A and B are shown apart, each in its own frame.
Chain A
Amino acid sequence: MITIYHWLQLSLAIFSIGLYGVLTRRSAVGVLISVELMLNAGAINFVAFNWAQPARAAVEGSLNASRGVDGQVMAIFVIAIAAAEVMIGLAILVALFRKRQSVDVTDLNKLKY
């Protein structure tokens, strides 16, 4: 049977792969892609814990007895933050590329050009 342990192992594996990508990519877009992998692993964890928690009695204000949706709401926040992060990151990259004709992170060691 699948337990929460399997889900944690899965998301840990994806997170570690993303970490490897962040450390090895030279293109800043590649780094962003790897960060997306890591964020996705975190979101999977949230939803897995949400599904694993025992069904509780009807909470006050909720419609029916359910296991709650806190983890799913947190995953929605993770997705929204990831979208915001990609948007800002790409705007910075486009501005940077216009100035320097390169987005190689191994060359970027100054904040101001």
Chain B
Amino acid sequence: MNFDNLSAGDTFFFVLSFLSILFAVLTVTTPHILRAATFLMSVLCLSAGFYILLGAELLAGIQILVYVGGVVVLLVIAVMLTQNKNLGHDQAVLSRKLIAFLVSGVFFAGSLFILSASPFANSPPMPSISAAASGDPVPRAGAIKDIGIALLDAGPNGFFLPFELISLLLLAVLVAGIVIARKEDQETSL
């Protein structure tokens, strides 16, 4: 790795990577669940930065809106609804931690080994977002329009069927969430 000619986009990548890995480790190691939710929020915000580096501005917005605005708030509410004295300090026993560390470490090392042997290890450099901004012929205008067209295109390049299935899934989830979580009183039963 040659650090001499880092472009601005590359520097951003390394800073964001370091921060998000740090926050991810904090997310899984902090004994307080509420703090874990806050650290998760940081990781997700940094991921929005990654999406901008990858030329996906719409996804960055969706990430902030849905994940940070919706999912994390939902998680925090769930933490407060299911608060328990015994789980105030959510720490596993040492043996479980060791086993989990071994499993995830072996998974990480094995995947890294496979990855280093794969053709991805010497792939060409990716187009930089700063190069794209400085007039390099990287076509990126109209990406958001393309996403809209791809989502509603019933042709071979489109995602019309999965899009409709997702909307059905979200409707089912909405109904199921209410049905599962409602109080089981005689008056409120449907």
Contact = CB atoms under 8 A, between A and B. Distances in A.
A and B together in one complex: yes
Interface of A: 1-10, 12-14, 16-21, 23-30, 32-34, 36-37, 40, 43-44, 47-48, 50-52, 55, 59-70, 72-73, 75-77, 79-84, 86-88, 90-95, 97-98, 101-104
A77 to B, nearest CB: 6
A70 B77 CA distance: 34
Given A33-B75, A75-B51, A77-B159, 12 more contacts: A4-B123, A12-B112, A18-B24, A20-B104, A23-B100, A66-B143, A67-B139, A68-B146, A75-B59, A80-B66, A81-B166, A95-B181
A34 B142 contact: no
B71 A23 contact: no
Contacts of A47: 50-51, 54, 56, 59
Interface in B87-117: 87, 90-92, 96-97, 99-101, 103-105, 107-108, 111-112, 115
10 contacts: A8-B115, A14-B20, A18-B24, A44-B51, A48-B54, A79-B67, A86-B75, A87-B174, A90-B74, A92-B180
Interface string B135-175: 00011111101110111010101110010001001100110
A69 to B, nearest CB: 5
Interface of B: 7, 9-10, 13, 17, 20-21, 24-25, 27-28, 33, 36-37, 40, 43-44, 47, 50-51, 54-56, 58-59, 62-63, 66-67, 70-71, 74-75, 77-79, 81-82, 84, 86-87, 90-92, 96-97, 99-101, 103-105, 107-108, 111-112, 115, 120-128, 138-143, 145-147, 149-151, 153, 155, 157-159, 162, 166, 169-170, 173-174, 176-178, 180-181, 183
Contacts of B176: 88, 91
A61 B87 contact: no
Nearest to A86: B71
A16 B108 contact: yes
A25 B32 CA distance: 11
A37 B164 CA distance: 26
A63 B153 CA distance: 12
Contacts of B13: 2, 6
The 10 closest A-B pairs by CB, nearest first: A21-B28, A1-B125, A23-B100, A16-B108, A20-B104, A91-B181, A91-B177, A91-B180, A51-B54, A97-B82
